[in-house]
Structure 1
Amino acid sequence: MLPSLVAALLLAQAPAAAVPAPQPMPTGDALEKRIVANDARLFWGFFEGCDPDAVSDLIHPDFRMLHDLVGMPLSSGAQMIEQSRRNCADRAPGGKNEGYRNRRLPVPGSRRIQKLGDWGVPEEGHHTFHEWRASHEGGRGGWEMTGGGRYIHSWQWMPEEGRFRLLESLSIDHGPAVPYPPQTAARP
Protein backbone atom coordinates (compact mmCIF):
# COMPACT_ATOMS: atom_id res chain seq x y z
CA MET A 1 0.00 0.00 0.00
CA LEU A 2 2.79 2.39 0.86
CA PRO A 3 4.51 2.10 -2.57
CA SER A 4 1.24 2.93 -4.36
CA LEU A 5 0.75 5.97 -2.10
CA VAL A 6 4.28 7.16 -2.92
CA ALA A 7 3.64 6.62 -6.62
CA ALA A 8 0.40 8.61 -6.42
CA LEU A 9 2.16 11.49 -4.66
CA LEU A 10 4.95 11.51 -7.24
CA LEU A 11 2.41 11.59 -10.09
CA ALA A 12 0.53 14.43 -8.43
CA GLN A 13 3.74 16.47 -8.28
CA ALA A 14 4.81 15.75 -11.86
CA PRO A 15 4.38 18.67 -14.26
CA ALA A 16 1.26 18.40 -16.39
CA ALA A 17 1.73 17.84 -20.11
CA ALA A 18 1.85 21.18 -21.84
CA VAL A 19 -1.39 21.88 -23.68
CA PRO A 20 -0.82 24.12 -26.68
CA ALA A 21 -2.29 27.57 -26.26
CA PRO A 22 -5.14 28.40 -28.63
CA GLN A 23 -3.88 30.31 -31.65
CA PRO A 24 -5.68 33.23 -33.22
CA MET A 25 -7.07 32.76 -36.70
CA PRO A 26 -4.88 34.29 -39.41
CA THR A 27 -6.10 37.43 -41.14
CA GLY A 28 -5.47 39.25 -44.41
CA ASP A 29 -2.94 37.75 -46.81
CA ALA A 30 -1.93 35.03 -44.33
CA LEU A 31 -5.55 33.85 -44.15
CA GLU A 32 -5.95 33.80 -47.92
CA LYS A 33 -2.63 31.99 -48.48
CA ARG A 34 -3.57 29.34 -45.90
CA ILE A 35 -6.95 28.65 -47.54
CA VAL A 36 -5.48 28.57 -51.06
CA ALA A 37 -2.76 26.15 -49.88
CA ASN A 38 -5.33 23.96 -48.09
CA ASP A 39 -7.51 23.89 -51.21
CA ALA A 40 -4.59 22.87 -53.43
CA ARG A 41 -3.47 20.17 -50.97
CA LEU A 42 -7.01 18.88 -50.52
CA PHE A 43 -7.73 18.39 -54.19
CA TRP A 44 -4.26 17.01 -54.94
CA GLY A 45 -4.77 14.38 -52.23
CA PHE A 46 -8.23 13.36 -53.40
CA PHE A 47 -7.76 13.70 -57.16
CA GLU A 48 -4.45 13.71 -58.97
CA GLY A 49 -2.14 12.63 -56.13
CA CYS A 50 -4.63 10.04 -54.89
CA ASP A 51 -3.24 10.01 -51.33
CA PRO A 52 -6.14 10.69 -48.95
CA ASP A 53 -4.12 9.79 -45.86
CA ALA A 54 -1.69 12.61 -46.63
CA VAL A 55 -4.51 15.16 -46.41
CA SER A 56 -6.71 13.59 -43.74
CA ASP A 57 -5.58 16.28 -41.28
CA LEU A 58 -7.51 18.82 -43.39
CA ILE A 59 -10.83 17.04 -42.89
CA HIS A 60 -13.02 17.77 -39.86
CA PRO A 61 -14.39 14.63 -38.17
CA ASP A 62 -17.93 16.06 -38.60
CA PHE A 63 -17.36 16.75 -42.31
CA ARG A 64 -20.25 16.37 -44.72
CA MET A 65 -20.61 16.87 -48.42
CA LEU A 66 -23.72 18.03 -50.25
CA HIS A 67 -23.77 17.47 -54.01
CA ASP A 68 -26.34 18.66 -56.55
CA LEU A 69 -26.29 15.36 -58.47
CA VAL A 70 -26.33 12.83 -55.62
CA GLY A 71 -27.57 14.56 -52.46
CA MET A 72 -25.40 13.87 -49.41
CA PRO A 73 -22.81 11.30 -50.50
CA LEU A 74 -20.59 11.79 -47.43
CA SER A 75 -21.62 12.43 -43.85
CA SER A 76 -18.32 12.16 -41.94
CA GLY A 77 -14.64 12.81 -42.33
CA ALA A 78 -13.87 9.13 -41.81
CA GLN A 79 -16.30 8.20 -44.59
CA MET A 80 -14.63 10.66 -46.98
CA ILE A 81 -11.16 9.27 -46.29
CA GLU A 82 -12.31 5.65 -46.58
CA GLN A 83 -14.18 6.23 -49.85
CA SER A 84 -11.13 7.91 -51.33
CA ARG A 85 -8.88 5.03 -50.21
CA ARG A 86 -11.16 2.63 -52.10
CA ASN A 87 -11.18 4.85 -55.20
CA CYS A 88 -7.38 5.09 -55.14
CA ALA A 89 -7.04 1.32 -54.69
CA ASP A 90 -9.25 0.88 -57.77
CA ARG A 91 -6.80 3.04 -59.77
CA ALA A 92 -3.74 1.07 -58.67
CA PRO A 93 -2.23 -1.72 -60.78
CA GLY A 94 -4.68 -4.61 -60.86
CA GLY A 95 -7.60 -2.41 -59.73
CA LYS A 96 -10.86 -2.24 -61.65
CA ASN A 97 -10.01 1.30 -62.84
CA GLU A 98 -6.29 0.72 -63.24
CA GLY A 99 -4.53 3.74 -64.68
CA TYR A 100 -7.46 6.16 -64.32
CA ARG A 101 -6.24 9.70 -63.67
CA ASN A 102 -8.18 12.87 -63.02
CA ARG A 103 -7.53 16.37 -61.84
CA ARG A 104 -9.43 19.37 -60.65
CA LEU A 105 -8.35 22.90 -61.50
CA PRO A 106 -9.76 26.07 -59.94
CA VAL A 107 -10.93 28.65 -62.47
CA PRO A 108 -8.61 31.66 -62.09
CA GLY A 109 -10.39 34.77 -60.89
CA SER A 110 -13.41 32.91 -59.51
CA ARG A 111 -12.27 32.21 -55.94
CA ARG A 112 -13.80 34.23 -53.09
CA ILE A 113 -12.66 33.88 -49.49
CA GLN A 114 -14.47 35.67 -46.68
CA LYS A 115 -13.71 35.66 -42.96
CA LEU A 116 -16.56 34.68 -40.62
CA GLY A 117 -15.49 36.28 -37.35
CA ASP A 118 -13.07 33.99 -35.54
CA TRP A 119 -15.02 30.85 -36.49
CA GLY A 120 -13.67 30.22 -39.96
CA VAL A 121 -13.93 30.95 -43.65
CA PRO A 122 -16.21 30.13 -46.56
CA GLU A 123 -14.29 29.59 -49.79
CA GLU A 124 -16.30 29.77 -52.99
CA GLY A 125 -15.32 29.39 -56.61
CA HIS A 126 -15.63 27.52 -59.87
CA HIS A 127 -13.51 24.58 -60.92
CA THR A 128 -13.04 22.32 -63.90
CA PHE A 129 -12.54 18.56 -64.00
CA HIS A 130 -10.16 16.78 -66.33
CA GLU A 131 -9.42 13.14 -67.18
CA TRP A 132 -6.25 11.75 -68.73
CA ARG A 133 -6.72 10.28 -72.18
CA ALA A 134 -3.94 7.99 -73.39
CA SER A 135 -4.89 8.74 -76.98
CA HIS A 136 -5.62 12.40 -77.45
CA GLU A 137 -5.12 14.99 -80.19
CA GLY A 138 -2.23 14.08 -82.44
CA GLY A 139 -2.05 10.54 -81.05
CA ARG A 140 -0.41 11.65 -77.79
CA GLY A 141 -1.84 11.46 -74.31
CA GLY A 142 -3.37 14.53 -72.75
CA TRP A 143 -5.84 16.00 -70.31
CA GLU A 144 -9.41 16.41 -71.51
CA MET A 145 -11.80 18.77 -69.74
CA THR A 146 -14.87 16.73 -68.80
CA GLY A 147 -16.94 19.32 -66.95
CA GLY A 148 -17.05 21.85 -64.21
CA GLY A 149 -18.98 23.11 -61.24
CA ARG A 150 -19.11 25.52 -58.36
CA TYR A 151 -18.05 24.80 -54.82
CA ILE A 152 -18.50 26.40 -51.42
CA HIS A 153 -16.24 25.08 -48.66
CA SER A 154 -16.67 25.87 -44.99
CA TRP A 155 -13.23 25.87 -43.36
CA GLN A 156 -13.46 25.92 -39.55
CA TRP A 157 -10.57 27.41 -37.60
CA MET A 158 -9.30 24.98 -34.94
CA PRO A 159 -7.49 27.28 -32.45
CA GLU A 160 -6.03 24.41 -30.39
CA GLU A 161 -4.55 22.90 -33.56
CA GLY A 162 -3.58 26.19 -35.21
CA ARG A 163 -5.15 25.18 -38.53
CA PHE A 164 -8.31 25.07 -40.60
CA ARG A 165 -10.29 21.88 -41.19
CA LEU A 166 -12.88 21.40 -43.91
CA LEU A 167 -16.25 21.05 -42.20
CA GLU A 168 -18.60 21.15 -45.17
CA SER A 169 -18.39 21.00 -48.95
CA LEU A 170 -21.26 22.16 -51.11
CA SER A 171 -20.65 21.03 -54.69
CA ILE A 172 -23.19 22.45 -57.15
CA ASP A 173 -23.87 23.58 -60.71
CA HIS A 174 -22.19 20.56 -62.30
CA GLY A 175 -22.23 20.48 -66.05
CA PRO A 176 -20.13 21.75 -68.91
CA ALA A 177 -17.11 23.69 -67.69
CA VAL A 178 -17.55 27.44 -67.30
CA PRO A 179 -15.91 29.42 -70.09
CA TYR A 180 -12.42 30.75 -69.55
CA PRO A 181 -11.77 33.49 -68.83
CA PRO A 182 -14.79 33.74 -66.57
CA GLN A 183 -17.24 36.47 -67.50
CA THR A 184 -16.63 38.13 -64.12
CA ALA A 185 -12.89 38.53 -64.82
CA ALA A 186 -11.64 41.89 -66.01
CA ARG A 187 -10.73 41.86 -69.68
CA PRO A 188 -7.92 43.95 -71.14
Structure 2
Amino acid sequence: MIHRTLAAALALLAATPLAAQDAPAEAPAAMPTGEALKAAVEANDARLFWGFFEGCDPELVADLVHPDFRMLHDLVGMPSASGAEMVAGATRNCDARKPGGANEGYRNRRLFVPGSRRIQQLGDWGVLEEGHHTFHEWRRAANDGAGGWVQTGGGRYIHVWKWMPEEGSFRLLESLSLDHGPAPSYPPALD
Protein backbone atom coordinates (compact mmCIF):
# COMPACT_ATOMS: atom_id res chain seq x y z
CA MET A 1 0.00 0.00 0.00
CA ILE A 2 2.80 2.44 0.88
CA HIS A 3 4.53 1.67 -2.42
CA ARG A 4 1.36 2.50 -4.39
CA THR A 5 0.90 5.80 -2.50
CA LEU A 6 4.56 6.69 -3.01
CA ALA A 7 4.34 5.75 -6.68
CA ALA A 8 1.20 7.91 -7.10
CA ALA A 9 2.89 10.88 -5.39
CA LEU A 10 5.99 10.52 -7.58
CA ALA A 11 3.83 10.30 -10.70
CA LEU A 12 1.99 13.48 -9.69
CA LEU A 13 5.27 15.25 -8.99
CA ALA A 14 6.67 14.16 -12.32
CA ALA A 15 3.58 15.46 -14.12
CA THR A 16 3.91 18.91 -12.49
CA PRO A 17 6.15 21.33 -14.46
CA LEU A 18 9.41 22.20 -12.70
CA ALA A 19 8.57 25.92 -12.69
CA ALA A 20 5.38 25.22 -10.75
CA GLN A 21 7.27 22.99 -8.28
CA ASP A 22 9.83 25.69 -7.51
CA ALA A 23 7.67 28.81 -7.71
CA PRO A 24 6.32 29.98 -4.37
CA ALA A 25 2.66 30.91 -4.34
CA GLU A 26 2.31 34.69 -4.56
CA ALA A 27 0.79 36.15 -1.46
CA PRO A 28 -1.94 38.75 -1.96
CA ALA A 29 -0.58 42.29 -1.81
CA ALA A 30 -1.14 44.21 1.40
CA MET A 31 -3.06 47.46 1.07
CA PRO A 32 -0.74 50.48 1.12
CA THR A 33 -0.89 52.84 4.07
CA GLY A 34 0.13 56.42 4.82
CA GLU A 35 1.63 58.41 1.94
CA ALA A 36 1.60 55.39 -0.42
CA LEU A 37 -2.16 55.02 0.09
CA LYS A 38 -2.72 58.73 -0.49
CA ALA A 39 -0.59 58.70 -3.66
CA ALA A 40 -2.44 55.65 -5.04
CA VAL A 41 -5.88 57.24 -4.48
CA GLU A 42 -4.80 60.60 -5.95
CA ALA A 43 -3.36 58.87 -9.03
CA ASN A 44 -6.52 56.78 -9.50
CA ASP A 45 -8.72 59.87 -9.14
CA ALA A 46 -6.77 61.81 -11.77
CA ARG A 47 -6.66 58.84 -14.17
CA LEU A 48 -10.36 58.01 -13.68
CA PHE A 49 -11.63 61.51 -14.40
CA TRP A 50 -9.23 61.99 -17.33
CA GLY A 51 -10.57 58.81 -18.93
CA PHE A 52 -14.22 59.74 -18.45
CA PHE A 53 -13.93 63.46 -19.22
CA GLU A 54 -11.15 65.20 -21.11
CA GLY A 55 -9.36 62.12 -22.44
CA CYS A 56 -12.71 60.51 -23.25
CA ASP A 57 -11.31 56.97 -23.36
CA PRO A 58 -13.35 54.89 -20.87
CA GLU A 59 -11.77 51.60 -21.97
CA LEU A 60 -8.39 52.98 -20.89
CA VAL A 61 -9.64 53.32 -17.30
CA ALA A 62 -12.13 50.43 -17.15
CA ASP A 63 -9.69 48.56 -14.90
CA LEU A 64 -10.27 51.21 -12.20
CA VAL A 65 -14.00 50.43 -11.96
CA HIS A 66 -15.14 47.50 -9.82
CA PRO A 67 -17.62 45.12 -11.52
CA ASP A 68 -20.09 45.79 -8.67
CA PHE A 69 -19.71 49.57 -9.05
CA ARG A 70 -22.72 51.72 -8.21
CA MET A 71 -23.14 55.46 -8.68
CA LEU A 72 -25.71 57.77 -7.11
CA HIS A 73 -26.07 61.29 -8.54
CA ASP A 74 -28.06 64.08 -6.89
CA LEU A 75 -29.55 65.29 -10.19
CA VAL A 76 -30.24 62.05 -12.09
CA GLY A 77 -30.56 59.26 -9.51
CA MET A 78 -28.63 56.07 -10.25
CA PRO A 79 -27.02 56.46 -13.68
CA SER A 80 -24.85 53.35 -13.21
CA ALA A 81 -25.62 50.17 -11.32
CA SER A 82 -22.53 48.24 -12.46
CA GLY A 83 -19.01 48.82 -13.68
CA ALA A 84 -19.89 47.54 -17.15
CA GLU A 85 -22.87 49.91 -17.33
CA MET A 86 -20.68 52.87 -16.34
CA VAL A 87 -18.05 52.11 -18.98
CA ALA A 88 -20.66 51.39 -21.69
CA GLY A 89 -22.48 54.68 -21.03
CA ALA A 90 -19.25 56.68 -21.11
CA THR A 91 -18.20 54.90 -24.31
CA ARG A 92 -21.50 55.92 -25.99
CA ASN A 93 -20.97 59.54 -24.88
CA CYS A 94 -17.39 59.57 -26.17
CA ASP A 95 -18.40 57.96 -29.48
CA ALA A 96 -20.94 60.77 -29.97
CA ARG A 97 -18.06 63.31 -29.82
CA LYS A 98 -16.22 61.72 -32.74
CA PRO A 99 -16.49 63.04 -36.30
CA GLY A 100 -20.02 62.46 -37.57
CA GLY A 101 -21.37 61.91 -34.03
CA ALA A 102 -24.35 63.76 -32.57
CA ASN A 103 -22.01 65.82 -30.33
CA GLU A 104 -19.09 66.08 -32.73
CA GLY A 105 -16.32 68.25 -31.34
CA TYR A 106 -17.75 68.56 -27.82
CA ARG A 107 -15.02 68.78 -25.18
CA ASN A 108 -15.30 68.92 -21.42
CA ARG A 109 -12.92 68.90 -18.52
CA ARG A 110 -13.09 68.13 -14.83
CA LEU A 111 -10.69 69.96 -12.52
CA PHE A 112 -10.06 68.92 -8.94
CA VAL A 113 -10.25 71.75 -6.41
CA PRO A 114 -6.87 71.80 -4.65
CA GLY A 115 -7.03 71.42 -0.88
CA SER A 116 -10.51 69.84 -0.88
CA ARG A 117 -9.50 66.16 -0.79
CA ARG A 118 -10.03 64.09 2.33
CA ILE A 119 -8.85 60.48 2.41
CA GLN A 120 -9.83 58.04 5.14
CA GLN A 121 -8.64 54.45 5.32
CA LEU A 122 -11.44 51.92 5.84
CA GLY A 123 -9.95 49.02 7.78
CA ASP A 124 -7.68 46.90 5.61
CA TRP A 125 -10.15 46.69 2.73
CA GLY A 126 -10.59 50.17 1.27
CA VAL A 127 -10.51 53.94 1.28
CA LEU A 128 -13.06 56.74 1.42
CA GLU A 129 -12.14 59.73 -0.74
CA GLU A 130 -14.05 63.00 -0.69
CA GLY A 131 -13.38 66.13 -2.70
CA HIS A 132 -14.75 68.99 -4.77
CA HIS A 133 -14.35 69.56 -8.47
CA THR A 134 -15.38 71.98 -11.20
CA PHE A 135 -16.63 71.24 -14.71
CA HIS A 136 -15.62 73.11 -17.85
CA GLU A 137 -16.62 73.07 -21.52
CA TRP A 138 -14.69 74.29 -24.54
CA ARG A 139 -16.47 77.20 -26.18
CA ARG A 140 -15.63 78.80 -29.51
CA ALA A 141 -15.77 82.55 -29.89
CA ALA A 142 -18.35 83.70 -32.44
CA ASN A 143 -16.15 86.08 -34.46
CA ASP A 144 -12.66 84.70 -34.78
CA GLY A 145 -13.24 80.99 -34.10
CA ALA A 146 -10.84 81.01 -31.16
CA GLY A 147 -12.12 79.72 -27.90
CA GLY A 148 -11.40 78.74 -24.39
CA TRP A 149 -12.52 76.77 -21.39
CA VAL A 150 -15.61 78.03 -19.57
CA GLN A 151 -16.55 76.82 -16.11
CA THR A 152 -20.09 75.44 -16.30
CA GLY A 153 -20.56 74.15 -12.76
CA GLY A 154 -19.15 72.22 -9.89
CA GLY A 155 -19.91 69.59 -7.30
CA ARG A 156 -18.70 67.32 -4.55
CA TYR A 157 -17.96 63.62 -4.71
CA ILE A 158 -17.45 60.77 -2.28
CA HIS A 159 -15.75 57.64 -3.58
CA VAL A 160 -15.24 54.27 -1.95
CA TRP A 161 -12.15 52.54 -3.36
CA LYS A 162 -11.95 48.81 -2.64
CA TRP A 163 -8.52 47.23 -2.24
CA MET A 164 -8.06 44.27 -4.60
CA PRO A 165 -5.22 42.25 -3.00
CA GLU A 166 -4.99 39.81 -5.93
CA GLU A 167 -4.40 42.76 -8.30
CA GLY A 168 -2.42 44.92 -5.90
CA SER A 169 -4.61 47.93 -6.73
CA PHE A 170 -7.76 49.83 -5.83
CA ARG A 171 -11.01 49.75 -7.80
CA LEU A 172 -13.85 52.24 -7.50
CA LEU A 173 -16.73 50.45 -5.77
CA GLU A 174 -19.17 53.30 -5.09
CA SER A 175 -19.53 56.93 -6.08
CA LEU A 176 -21.80 59.54 -4.59
CA SER A 177 -21.89 62.66 -6.75
CA LEU A 178 -23.68 65.58 -5.14
CA ASP A 179 -24.02 69.32 -4.57
CA HIS A 180 -24.01 70.01 -8.30
CA GLY A 181 -24.68 73.60 -9.23
CA PRO A 182 -24.02 76.26 -11.80
CA ALA A 183 -20.74 78.06 -11.95
CA PRO A 184 -20.70 81.10 -9.68
CA SER A 185 -20.77 84.39 -11.53
CA TYR A 186 -17.46 86.12 -11.95
CA PRO A 187 -16.62 88.71 -10.99
CA PRO A 188 -18.86 88.48 -7.96
CA ALA A 189 -21.52 91.15 -7.58
CA LEU A 190 -20.38 94.03 -5.40
CA ASP A 191 -22.96 95.34 -2.96
Inter-CA distance 11–75: structure 2 relative to 1 (3 Å threshold): farther
Inter-CA distance 75–133: structure 2 relative to 1 (3 Å threshold): same
1:88: how far off?
Answer: 0.7
Contact 1:90 1:96 in 2 (8 A): yes
Aligned partner of 1:129 among 125, 135, 138: 135
AA in 2 matched with 1:96: A
1:33 equivalenced with 2:39 (yes/no) = yes
Runs of 4 or more off by more than 2 Å in structure 1? Answer: 8-20, 136-140, 176-179
Contact 1:156 1:167 in 2 (8 A): yes
2:104 matched residue in structure 1: 98
Percent sequence identity over aligned pairs: 72
What CA distance in whole angstroms lies between the structure 2 residues aligned with 1:32 and 1:9?
A: 46
Report the secondary structure of 1:26's partner residue.
Answer: coil
Contact 1:52 1:85 in 2 (8 A): yes
Residues 49-99 of structure 1, C-alpha deviations (whole Å, 9 max, x = no match): 001111011000000100001111100000111111111100000100000
Contact 1:128 1:147 in 2 (8 A): yes
What CA distance in whole angstroms lies between the structure 2 residues aligned with 1:27 and 1:178?
A: 37
Residues 17-74 of structure 1, C-alpha deviations (whole Å, 9 max, x = no match): 8753211111111111110100000000000000111101100000010000111110
1:138: how far off?
Answer: 8.4
1:13 matched residue in structure 2: 16
Report the secondary structure of 1:153's partner residue.
Answer: strand
Report the secondary structure of 1:100's partner residue.
Answer: coil
2:162 matched residue in structure 1: 156
Supply the RMSD in Å over aligned alpha carbons: 2.3
1:119: how far off?
Answer: 1.1
1:168: how far off?
Answer: 0.5
Aligned partner of 1:165 among 140, 164, 171: 171
Contact 1:23 1:162 in 2 (8 A): yes
TM-score when scaled to structure 1? Answer: 0.84
TM-score when scaled to structure 2? Answer: 0.83
1:64 equivalenced with 2:74 (yes/no) = no
What CA distance in whole angstroms lies between the structure 2 residues aligned with 1:11 and 1:153?
A: 50
What CA distance in whole angstroms lies between the structure 2 residues aligned with 1:20 and 1:178?
A: 52
What CA distance in whole angstroms lies between the structure 2 residues aligned with 1:101 and 1:62?
A: 29
Residues 89-127 of structure 1, C-alpha deviations (whole Å, 9 max, x = no match): 000001000000001011111110111111110100111
Report the secondary structure of 2:41's partner residue.
Answer: helix
What CA distance in whole angstroms lies between the structure 2 residues aligned with 1:178 and 1:34?
A: 32
What CA distance in whole angstroms lies between the structure 2 residues aligned with 1:79 and 1:48?
A: 20
Residues 121-148 of structure 1, C-alpha deviations (whole Å, 9 max, x = no match): 0100111000000117986310000000
Give the number of aligned pairs. 173
Please say which of residues 135-144 and 18-27 is displaced more in the overlay.
Answer: 135-144
Pick the structure with greater CA Rg: 2
